[in-house]
Amino acid sequence: MLKAVIMDFDGVIIDTEVIWYEVYKDWFHVKKNYELAISEFLVCVGSNYKALFRELEKTKEIYVDEDEFFADTMGMFMDRSNHLPAKEGVIEFIESIKKQNLILLLATSSKRKKPETHLKRLGLINYFDSLITADDVKRIKPFPDLFNLALKTHHVENDAAIVIEDSNNGLIAANKAGIKTIIIPNEVTKYSEFVDYYAKYSSLREVDLVQIKKDFEPKGVK
């Protein structure tokens, strides 16, 4: 029986992934004279920048000073993302979760400050029973630690939860945790090749939570 919904933040609740790609692309163009492709950027979506920087160093011999990069880009990102609305269907979906008396959790590879700030700005933070972030675990996605901690915090079994994700790293993490996943790609992650997911939709507006609850009912239960 479905007891909890676990949502990712970046790219699911607000479209930060597109903003980050634009910021990364602009920085690499100006600082490294390099045109960063979406396919390269996807390495770090749902996880963090280290995977991308390691890959560029290994394959392109492009070396990035992390302190310099974030000193240059963090202000730019905040300026471009401070007024982002919730993505299509997000508010209605979150409201439906609470109407169905389900636990709502956030599990994100981001540090706590960013999702907390945006959820407060959007008036959504009080809907969430817990926020599980990179501050709470040693390993972020694609490792399952964020999801495992979310389940443990509320004593929910992995077969009684469902994850809402936009990235391959998030899907891999959820699969490792043994949780079914709904994929909602964004304008960046739509280029990913997703496999082994429960369902895939273009928007949370298309998700029928009542039907999903029925799918989770034990056989023979009407």
Active site residues: 8, 10
Tell how strand 130-132 and strand 161-165 pair up.
unpaired
Q: What is the sign of the dihedral through the CA atoms of 65, 68, 71 and 76? A: negative
For residues 20 and 18, give the distance between their C-alpha atoms in angstroms, rounded to a whole number.
5
Q: Which helix (H) or strand (E) holds 4?
A: strand 4-7
For residues 128 and 135, give the distance between their C-alpha atoms in angstroms, rounded to a whole number.
17
97 in Cβ contact with 5 (< 8 Å): yes
163 in Cβ contact with 182 (< 8 Å): yes
2 in Cβ contact with 101 (< 8 Å): no
User: Which DSSP string do the residues of 35-87 spell out, in sequence order?
Assistant: ---HHHHTTTTTS-HHHHHHHHHHHH-----HHHHHHHHHHHHHHHHTTPPPP
